[in-house]
Amino acid sequence: MGLGVLVAVTSPDGVSDAWYGEPVGVVVQGGVNEIYGYPGVATPRFWTVAFDDLAYMVDGRGPFEKANVPEWRLRVLEPEAAEGPQPEP
């Protein structure tokens, strides 16, 4: 994972901050962990994702152009996957 990587944001079952669908975007910078952990407890790495289209949360929050997302919620995509089916030559 790193800058310039194409990703989809996932929302596993049971999470309270679920995204509508799986918004696609590009990692544009290291993110900020907005919740400080307890001493001795590892905190997840966050990345800032700039979305291709405006993204919304299932609870109605949004639209978002960018978001800080924990790395475990990101699925790396191949560039062709974001473009959809390609015509045959």
* Count: domains in the chain: 1
Residue 37 lies in a domain: yes
pLDDT at 36: 57
Residue type, 59: D
Task: Report pLDDT digits (tens) over 24-74.
Answer: 999 999 887 655 556 666 667 899 999 999 999 999 999 999 999 999 999
Residue 87 lies in a domain: no
CA–CA separation, 51 and 36 (whole Å)? 25
**What is the pTM for the complete model shown?**
0.78
Residue 62 lies in a domain: yes
Residue 70 lies in a domain: yes
Residue 51 lies in a domain: yes
Asked if 25 and 7 count as a contact pair (C-beta separation under 8 A), the reply is yes
Residue 86 lies in a domain: no
pLDDT at 1: 80
Domain that holds residue 65: 6-11+19-81
82 or 23: whose pLDDT is higher? 23
pLDDT at 89: 53
Residue 31 lies in a domain: yes
